[in-house]
């Protein structure tokens, strides 16, 4: 397995893969000053030597950067799932997705590609999580929540049941979302209120 990105987020993924006894062959990063991370070698584009059948995880926390890299490179993407996470056997998890320690994902949930479910996040039954979403530490999605592409749900935020959140939304840390949220919005507070709605960043 290779990782694209040599940052703090990459260190967490490395340790997940080590706990799962997954062999890590190296990392890739644009920063040419980074030569290794946790004793694993780092290569730099454009001169990267990756076997065609090697697994890859984009180890970058920024949702838009993960999307851009996934469009630029045609790797075979793997997954990293911490052994302490609790995941129903009836959950669908897309390629490139990372699930951190103590996360809980309940039955009927579908998770897209290159998603981050961070430490101790709780995703209840029948949620739909789009590609490139980041569910931050200790965030709670109650049952039947939809989160569309690229959205960031902040640390300890709570989304009540059956809420629909648009794409590329930012939910602030600790926010409590009690109504549907349109695309490209920023939401803060308890109860959550929209303080900004912008245009596409794509």
Tokens of 19: 């706990």
Residues annotated as part of the active site: 125
Which residue(s) pair with 134 in the sheet?
A: 116, 152
Question: Among 155, 157, 151, 160, which residue's Cα sits nearest to residue 185?
Answer: 151
The full DSSP string for 59-121 is: --S-HHHHHHHHHH---EE--EE-TT-EE-TT-EE-TT-EE-TT-EE-TT-EE-TT-EE-TT-
Rounded to whole angstroms, the Cα distance separating 118 from 8 reads: 13
Rounded to whole angstroms, the Cα distance separating 4 from 20 reads: 19
């Amino acid at each position: 397995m290779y990782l694209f990105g040599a940052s703090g987020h990459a260190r967490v993924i490395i340790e997940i893969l080590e706990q799962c006894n997954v062999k890590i062959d190296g990392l890739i990063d644009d920063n040419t000053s980074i030569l290794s991370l946790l004793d694993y070698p780092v290569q730099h584009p454009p001169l990267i030597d990756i076997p065609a059948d090697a697994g890859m995880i984009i180890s970058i926390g920024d949702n838009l950067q993960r999307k851009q890299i996934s469009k630029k490179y045609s790797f075979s993407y793997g997954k990293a799932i911490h052994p302490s996470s609790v995941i129903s056997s009836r959950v669908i998890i897309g390629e490139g997705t990372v699930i951190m320690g103590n996360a809980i994902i309940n039955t009927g949930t579908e998770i897209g590609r290159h998603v981050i479910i961070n430490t101790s996040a709780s995703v209840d039954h029948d949620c739909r999580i789009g590609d490139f979403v980041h569910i931050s530490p200790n965030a709670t999605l109650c049952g039947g929540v939809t989160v569309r592409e690229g959205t960031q749900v902040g640390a300890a935020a709570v989304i009540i049941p059956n809420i629909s959140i648009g794409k590329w939304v930012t939910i602030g840390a600790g926010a409590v979302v009690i109504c549907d949220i349109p695309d490209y919005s920023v939401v803060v507070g308890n109860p959550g209120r929209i303080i900004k709605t912008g245009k596409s960043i794509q």
